[in-house]
Chain A
Amino acid sequence: MRFSRCAGTSVRSNRCPAGAGPFRMSPFPVDFRASLGRGLALILSCGSRRRFIAKSLAANLGGQRVRSRCLCGAAAAAGASSSIRGPNHGQEGQCSGTGVAQYDVAVVGGGMVGMALACSLASMPLTKNLNIAIIDSNPALVNGIRINKEDPPDPRVSTITPATISMFRDIGAWQYLQQYRHAYFDKMQVWDYTGLGYTRYHARDVDKDSLGCVVENKVLQSSLLLCIQNADIQKKIFPSRLVSMSLNPGLKSKRMDGISPEISRGDLTKLQLNDGTCLYAKLVVGADGSKSQVRELAGFKTTGWNYSQNAIICTVEHASENRCAWQRFLPAGPIALLPVGDNFSNIVWTMNPKEALDQKSMTEADFVKTVNHALDHGFGPHPTSSLLGNGNFFSWFRAGVVTSGNGGFEIPPKVLKLASERMVFPLSLRHANDYVSKHVALIGDAAHTVHPLAGQGVNLGFGDAFALSRVIGEAIAVGMDIGEVSLLKKYEAERKPANIAMMAILDGFQKAYSVDFGPLNILRAAGLHAANYISPLKRSIISYASGEQRLPLFS
């Protein structure tokens, strides 16, 4: 089966470079039962876990024809090779310049995850001889990212897990990051508005020094950029946008039709950029964010829904240093307070869209007041340090309990003032049904978008990047063509189940906390208590959230 996809809207304006600016949202109400059904739908259908296993068994036992796809922005003619020179859409035009350059890997999207892949390839001996092209229209990639250390922290931050930190160390990017502001935190407290329970985590519970590190996105980008610039891998940054991609289908030989060898290369994908440059690549990696152009052009289907929530983010200042990450689940959504270093913290507050706009437009003083209210006494009482009378019920659990900073509930530090502008983003969950196809692989937000409530999104992306680079290294070790589907499927088989599991857990949390229903509140509180007092569970939750790949409860 061969089908061509002519992108009717091949011109994409206002494409967001990785992680900036508001997205277009189409809101629709979320009915709890319907969304629960869709939650199940995510797990059970559309190329996800169960079907994945069934499909793999069937594929191994039966035989599936490989679909060859023709993906093009130009019209598909009967002969495949003519599609390159054939009629063009809008402003694409012919390829400018003489001779089309060939690259081994074309990373579309020079954000944190795309650059992490490039740095990872540069750091391994097997892959450091590859020729990499990085395509991103952000001028900062060419000019460098200037970071002023005196500025207050940017509100766009990411929490990176210890697993990600060690991967950064392995690729040699951590040394660049250390010169800038970054904040380790070793405590975490999670509670909700009902006052029925809370959890405190401490890095000591798992014999570690920290639970994670909060870093501004521009610091992450800058350190990865410095890392790749100083690496001795062949790379070229293309400061433009991808417009179209086309695969040369089938086997063509220059003998057969006299077309120049470039076009008859059946193992390459041709990419066309909006400034007219063309390039060939053996493997195209889509790291261009949740509105991925690569995903669109390659025809990957996605499953997902929009949450009827927006997140408002900003930087705030305290009187003293904050070393703990705080998260309180409120009726409309969680509010998180993350330390970012010096006396600053980052606020991520999820709420419904109307309230978010109100919060954004109110004065700074009022906003600070509402934040303090939300973190402290607003919406419900403080949890007491023990439930059911001095914890008699749990005393036999306590025999092995891991003490977490004396275990008592603490009130988060007071916010003194706002230190940045407030930004609002819509939230959604999106997952590509497949991560790979011939010569194309998706990593990061292009493959999966999650709710920010556990700070896992970019860590999943980094996990993808490092897994893909490892798979590419293994391919080169056995001399395989890196665009080969069977090889890329190995990457998908490694990452997809882990990503889906994490997304399911996060979505579960999001749904569990979005309903104010007595028995459910008590169940949630019981869950929080269990997570606080049953130490093996606590340990496994912490190590799962730290990126150590083992599902809690099932390790």
Chain B
Amino acid sequence: MASKLLSRVRAVPARLGYPRPFSPTLAAFAPSRLLSDAAAAGAGDSPPASASPAPRPSGSSGKLEHNAGCSSVRSSLKDSELAKFSAIADTWWDSEGPFKPLHRMNPTRLAFIRSTLCRHFGKDPSSARPFEGLKVVDVGCGGGILSEPLARMGASVTGVDAVDKNIKIASIHADLDPVTSTIEYCCTTAEKLVEEQRKFDAVISLEVIEHVADPAEFCKSLAALTIPEGAIVISTINRSMRAYATAIVAAEYLLRWLPKGTHQWSSFLTPEELALILQRSSISVKEMAGFVYNPLTGRWSLSDDVGVNFIAFGTKNSQ
């Protein structure tokens, strides 16, 4: 059961006597952060770094026509990752294209988010719009695949992504439906939002943390964006042999679901590690679940098996 899993995960900080860094392979990427900062200024997709002299006021509308330019500070993102995503940005909403696995996984992730958030905030799960009145931020929203359903469920959604092209595509698609056109899209990063002192009831970041250079800093930023007793949902891929076989070898090379090089096995986090770094950011993990894929039906479902894909729900400790 999930409770057994959680107790195993919660036991990790107790077991580790000293603040150990994450795996050596992850630590090796830390220096590359400096490289990525330097390279960010020259990143192809975004406007020049010095375009915005002052941080955008937090109250301004995130609509594209008001953006003078995007922030260039990408403290926790790898430049190579950005380039990877901007290359295939046009295909976000093609449910048979490179993002097909995400589209297929989406209903399952949303089911988990819906049930955990409804329970946490005491909302009625049988209502069609249970998230009315909740402010949610989707960090690393991409083309808005997650943001739009959240908006349809009644939440006030802010979608942020570091790749400008993604934000453009997301805005255009969201404008097609009046319900989703209320989503505020910004081309920015979590760190920038923290500087603007934005706060949200729920911070959701799915399939992002495996692409950041410094997961611990990223989690700290996410925690800073959450109100006390707010919710955080993070999903990623486990660093296990099975994950290597399925998410990298099978998905990228054999089945060609994802472009080669989308994921780096060394950037994956195990559930224990994720729980640990969240713990350090004053977030206690309350629920965790895994996704399993059934090749015959082509559908994903939630399960206790966190061997490959998993999703974690945590709440911010009240100070």
- State the A residues within 8 Å of B (CB): 53, 56-57, 59-66, 125-127, 129, 251-255, 264-267, 474-481, 484-487, 490, 493
Q: How far is the CB of B104 from chain A (nearest CB, A)?
A: 7
Between B126, B256, B298, the greatest number of chain A beta carbons within 10 A of the residue's beta carbon is seen for: B298
Q: Assess the A267–B177 pair: CB atoms within 8 A.
A: yes
Of A62, A476, A479, A487, the residue contacting B148 (CB under 8 A) is A479
A493 CB contacts on chain B under 8 angstroms:
297
A479 CB contacts on chain B under 8 angstroms:
110, 114, 148-153
Of B94, B172, B176, B296, the residue contacting A56 (CB under 8 A) is B296
Q: Residue B54 at the A interface, CB < 8 A?
A: no
Q: How far is the CA of A254 from the CA of B297 in the complex (A)?
A: 38
Which residue of chain A has its CB nearest to the CB of B176? A266
Q: Assess the A251–B176 pair: CB atoms within 8 A.
A: yes
Q: Residue B111 at the A interface, CB < 8 A?
A: yes
A61 CB contacts on chain B under 8 angstroms:
255, 295
Q: How far is the CA of A490 from the CA of B294 in the complex (A)?
A: 14
Q: Assess the A477–B176 pair: CB atoms within 8 A.
A: no
- Contacting A at CB under 8 A, from B128-186, are 128, 148-153, 172-173, 175-177
26 A-B pairs whose Cβ atoms sit less than 8 Å apart in the complex: A59-B298, A62-B255, A62-B256, A63-B100, A63-B256, A63-B257, A64-B96, A65-B96, A66-B94, A125-B126, A126-B128, A253-B172, A253-B176, A255-B175, A266-B176, A267-B176, A267-B177, A476-B128, A478-B107, A479-B153, A484-B95, A486-B95, A486-B103, A486-B104, A487-B107, A493-B297
Of B94, B114, B295, the residue contacting A478 (CB under 8 A) is B114
- Pick the 5 closest A-B CB pairs, nearest first: A479-B149, A478-B110, A479-B152, A60-B298, A479-B153
B128 CB contacts on chain A under 8 angstroms:
125-127, 129, 476
- Contacting A at CB under 8 A, from B68-98, are 93-97
Q: Assess the B96–A478 pair: CB atoms within 8 A.
A: no
B126 CB contacts on chain A under 8 angstroms:
125-126
Q: How far is the CA of A63 from the CA of B259 in the complex (A)?
A: 13
B319 CB contacts on chain A under 8 angstroms:
none
B103 CB contacts on chain A under 8 angstroms:
486
Q: How far is the CA of A485 from the CA of B298 in the complex (A)?
A: 14
A127 CB contacts on chain B under 8 angstroms:
128
B94 CB contacts on chain A under 8 angstroms:
66
Q: Residue B318 at the A interface, CB < 8 A?
A: no
B173 CB contacts on chain A under 8 angstroms:
251
Q: How far is the CA of A374 from the CA of B295 in the complex (A)?
A: 53
Q: Assess the A254–B175 pair: CB atoms within 8 A.
A: yes
Q: How far is the CA of A253 from the CA of B175 in the complex (A)?
A: 7
Known: A61-B255, A66-B94, A475-B107. 12 other contacts (CB 8 A): A59-B298, A63-B100, A63-B256, A66-B96, A125-B128, A126-B127, A129-B128, A265-B176, A478-B106, A481-B148, A481-B152, A484-B95
Q: How far is the CB of B97 from chain A (nearest CB, A)?
A: 7
- Contacting A at CB under 8 A, from B102-119, are 103-104, 106-107, 110-111, 114
Q: Assess the B256–A477 pair: CB atoms within 8 A.
A: no
Between A253, A255, A486, the greatest number of chain B beta carbons within 10 A of the residue's beta carbon is seen for: A486
Q: How far is the CB of A279 from chain B (nearest CB, A)?
A: 16
Q: Assess the B111–A478 pair: CB atoms within 8 A.
A: yes
Q: How far is the CA of A83 from the CA of B136 in the complex (A)?
A: 39
Q: How far is the CB of A203 from chain B (nearest CB, A)?
A: 35
Q: Assess the B114–A251 pair: CB atoms within 8 A.
A: no
Q: How far is the CA of A63 from the CA of B104 in the complex (A)?
A: 13
Q: How far is the CB of B126 from chain A (nearest CB, A)?
A: 5
Q: How far is the CB of A467 from chain B (nearest CB, A)?
A: 15
A56 CB contacts on chain B under 8 angstroms:
296-298
Q: How far is the CB of B146 from chain A (nearest CB, A)?
A: 9
Which residue of chain B has its CB nearest to the CB of A487? B107
Q: Assess the A477–B175 pair: CB atoms within 8 A.
A: no
Q: Assess the B176–A53 pair: CB atoms within 8 A.
A: no
Q: How far is the CA of A478 from the CA of B177 in the complex (A)?
A: 16
B104 CB contacts on chain A under 8 angstroms:
486
Q: How far is the CA of A67 from the CA of B236 in the complex (A)?
A: 32
Q: Assess the B177–A481 pair: CB atoms within 8 A.
A: yes
B153 CB contacts on chain A under 8 angstroms:
478-479
Q: Assess the B176–A264 pair: CB atoms within 8 A.
A: yes
Q: Assess the B297–A478 pair: CB atoms within 8 A.
A: no
Which residue of chain A has its CB nearest to the CB of B147? A479
Q: How far is the CA of A477 from the CA of B150 in the complex (A)?
A: 10
Q: How far is the CB of A415 from chain B (nearest CB, A)?
A: 50
A62 CB contacts on chain B under 8 angstroms:
255-256
Which residue of chain B has its CB nearest to the CB of A102? B178
Q: How far is the CB of B263 from chain A (nearest CB, A)?
A: 18
A251 CB contacts on chain B under 8 angstroms:
93, 172-173, 176
Q: How far is the CA of A317 from the CA of B114 in the complex (A)?
A: 58
Between A64, A265, A475, A481, the greatest number of chain B beta carbons within 10 A of the residue's beta carbon is seen for: A481
Q: How far is the CB of A350 from chain B (nearest CB, A)?
A: 38
Q: How far is the CA of A481 from the CA of B94 in the complex (A)?
A: 14
B295 CB contacts on chain A under 8 angstroms:
57, 60-61
Of B96, B127, B177, B299, the residue contacting A265 (CB under 8 A) is B177
Q: How far is the CA of A185 from the CA of B257 in the complex (A)?
A: 54
Q: How far is the CB of A61 from chain B (nearest CB, A)?
A: 5
Q: How far is the CB of A545 from chain B (nearest CB, A)?
A: 27
Q: How far is the CA of A126 from the CA of B129 in the complex (A)?
A: 9
Q: How far is the CA of A254 from the CA of B128 in the complex (A)?
A: 28
A66 CB contacts on chain B under 8 angstroms:
94-96
Contact of A53 with B149 at beta-carbon distance under 8 Å, contacts A253-B176, A267-B176 already known = no
A267 CB contacts on chain B under 8 angstroms:
176-177
B175 CB contacts on chain A under 8 angstroms:
253-255
B298 CB contacts on chain A under 8 angstroms:
56, 59-60
Which residue of chain B has its CB nearest to the CB of A264? B176
Which residue of chain A has its CB nearest to the CB of B98? A63
A484 CB contacts on chain B under 8 angstroms:
95
Which residue of chain B has its CB nearest to the CB of A65? B96
Q: Assess the B172–A485 pair: CB atoms within 8 A.
A: no
Q: How far is the CB of A426 from chain B (nearest CB, A)?
A: 38
Q: How far is the CA of A321 from the CA of B238 in the complex (A)?
A: 69
Q: Assess the A53–B151 pair: CB atoms within 8 A.
A: no
B97 CB contacts on chain A under 8 angstroms:
63
Q: How far is the CA of A515 from the CA of B176 in the complex (A)?
A: 59
Q: How far is the CA of A131 from the CA of B296 in the complex (A)?
A: 35
Q: How far is the CB of A110 from chain B (nearest CB, A)?
A: 24
B176 CB contacts on chain A under 8 angstroms:
251-253, 264-267
Contact of A477 with B114 at beta-carbon distance under 8 Å, contacts A64-B96, A125-B127, A251-B93 already known = yes
Q: How far is the CA of A264 from the CA of B257 in the complex (A)?
A: 31
A125 CB contacts on chain B under 8 angstroms:
126-128
Which residue of chain B has its CB nearest to the CB of A66? B96
